[in-house]
């Protein structure tokens, strides 16, 4: 296992400290969350009574594989804690998410949760967001028009594709534009500008949304509080 993988594992497993019996847990997406779900499955087997609301098909599959019971928003609108990864985290708790293309469901879960815990390896900490191309989920119809509007805001938008060069389709049936804005000076303002564009479903900017960030290093976890 690489140092980075180990850091993800440590952060993912450490996040279980937020989980108590009876809780409903928002299950994020990505390779760091994988370790959290896997460990959570062990706790469930040992008797922990919790339910998870997964944010992606991938997280549903992992929850099923590791025996974490699943629920959804038709059964409960209470999420005690959401635990999710991120692609970038700055010093003001602004996040870029959506590297895995699950940003819409991840955000719905995060805004519903009483507590939003972000788990990352140290490579995700940045002084300013924007080296990572900002994922923006858009409706397929008129994608060229929407990309043009994003360009007017200063973002060079590239349609996300799969490894076989087919267009990437999100779990919601939409497209993802990976947008290069250079360094993002005002994450909150940019997020609101993007949200006002017809055709944009959601931006991968999560401005100031984390309640706690757990940072994995190769040999330890550091917890950053709000
Ligand atoms: C998926 C996400 C992930 O949380 C983000 O891409 C981080 O993934 P990883 O833990 O694999 O580095 O936002 O949409």
Same domain, 38 and 62: yes
Cβ atoms within 10 Å of 57's Cβ, excluding its own: 13
Residue 32 near ligand 1, beta carbon < 6 Å: yes
Q: How many helices (H) and strands (E) are present in the chain, helices listed first?
A: 6, 13
Same domain, 12 and 112: yes
Provide the number of structural domains found in the chain: 2
Same domain, 94 and 140: no
Q: What CATH number has the domain bearing residue 191?
A: 3.30.70.260
What is the band of 225 on the pLDDT scale with cuts at 50, 70, 90?
A: confident
Q: Is residue 149 part of a domain?
A: yes
Q: What is the reported pTM?
A: 0.97
Residue 103 near ligand 1, beta carbon < 6 Å: yes
Same domain, 112 and 65: yes
> Is the interface score ipTM higher than 0.95?
yes
Same domain, 18 and 103: yes
Beta bridge partners of 120: 215
Same domain, 104 and 157: no
Distance 78 CA to ligand 1 centre (A): 23
Same domain, 139 and 220: no
Same domain, 26 and 80: yes
The string of pLDDT tens digits covering residues 77-126 is 999 999 999 999 999 999 999 999 999 999 999 999 999 999 999 999 99
Told to judge if 106 belongs to the known catalytic residues of this protein, a careful annotator would answer yes
Q: 57-66 and 31-45 are packed helices; what angle lies between their axes, rounded to 10 degrees?
A: 30
For a mutational test of ligand 1's pocket, the pick from 86, 132, 169, 204, i.e. the residue with the most ligand atoms closer than 8 A to its C-beta, is 86
Same domain, 103 and 143: no
Same domain, 199 and 220: no
Q: What CATH number has the domain bearing residue 81?
A: 3.40.50.1360
- Domain containing 98 equals 3-124+208-224
pLDDT at 129 over 80: yes
Same domain, 32 and 117: yes
pLDDT at 135 over 70: yes
Per 3-state DSSP, the chain is made up of helix, strand and coil in percentages (nearest 5) of 30, 25, 40
């Amino acid at each position: 296992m690489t140092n980075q993988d180990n850091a993800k594992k440590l952060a993912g497993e450490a996040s279980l400290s937020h989980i108590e019996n009876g809780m409903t847990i928002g299950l994020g997406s990505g390779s760091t969350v994988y370790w959290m779900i896997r460990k959570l499955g062990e706790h469930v087997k040992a008797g922990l009574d919790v339910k998870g609301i997964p944010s992606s098909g991938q997280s549903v599959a992992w929850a099923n594989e590791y025996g974490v019971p699943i629920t959804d928003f038709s059964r409960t609108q209470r999420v005690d804690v959401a635990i999710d990864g991120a692609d970038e985290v700055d010093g003001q708790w602004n996040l870029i998410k959506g590297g895995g293309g699950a940003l819409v469901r991840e955000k719905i879960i995060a805004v519903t949760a009483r507590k939003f815990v972000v788990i990352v390896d140290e490579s995700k900490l940045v002084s300013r967001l924007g080296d990572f191309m900002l994922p923006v989920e858009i409706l397929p119809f008129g994608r060229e028009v929407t990309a043009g509007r994003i360009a007017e805001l200063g973002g060079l938008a590239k349609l996300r594709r799969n490894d076989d060069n087919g267009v990437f389709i999100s779990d919601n049936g939409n497209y993802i534009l990976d947008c290069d804005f250079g360094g993002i000076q005002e994450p909150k303002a940019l997020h609101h500008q993007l949200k006002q564009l017809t055709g944009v479903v959601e931006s991968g900017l999560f401005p100031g949304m984390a309640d706690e960030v757990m940072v994995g290093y190769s040999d330890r976890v550091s917890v950053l509080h709000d």
